[in-house]
Amino acid sequence: MQSTLRPEAINDETARVGAALSGVLADTFVLYVRTHGFHWNVTGRKFRTLHLMFEEQYNELWSALDPIAERIRALGQPAPGSVQGLMALAELPEAEALLDSRGMIKAALDGHLAVVRRAKAVLATAETAQDPATVDLLTQRIASHEKTAWMLRALLSEDEPVR
């Protein structure tokens, strides 16, 4: 991936964008691990539905990690490359070890909403830095997380009538 920034544009502001984007990468990684754990450990009447849904979600999150890390590199920053390094940057806590299926859905929802909040904050930083490639990347990530959040909310309110 080639940077859209001119070499002379790689400065303190660009470094701030790369560093902030590392936090999005870290939270995305934590959400990936959380979701994968839910896939492994879900039980109950809706096992198959939730097992497959969490698999789709963790695959999407895994696919999101590389473009975020590559953008950090394009901004001239090192991408965090260890679990310890990612956890040090993450704001999203690890999920409780064992939750019931409703708790898993709620924890997944909370995770997606947390990543959206963080991505929106970094989006503002990227806009200030006039970094359209990072703005585009974050806009796509926000849209994906918001769509997943909508679907998770629908699962939590499945017994309510559609309005």
* Distance separating alpha carbons of residues 153 and 38, to the nearest angstrom: 16
Question: What pLDDT score was predicted for residue 11?
Answer: 80
Residue range 103-118, pLDDT digits in tens: 999 999 999 999 999 9
Residues contacting residue 28 through CB under 8 Å, at least 6 positions apart: 61, 64, 65, 68, 115, 141
Model pTM score:
0.89
For residue 35, the number of C-alpha atoms closer than 13 Å in the C-beta half-sphere is 28
Q: For 13-156, CATH number?
A: 1.20.1260.10
Is the pLDDT assigned to residue 45 strictly greater than 80? yes
For residue 120, the number of C-alpha atoms closer than 13 Å in the C-beta half-sphere is 11
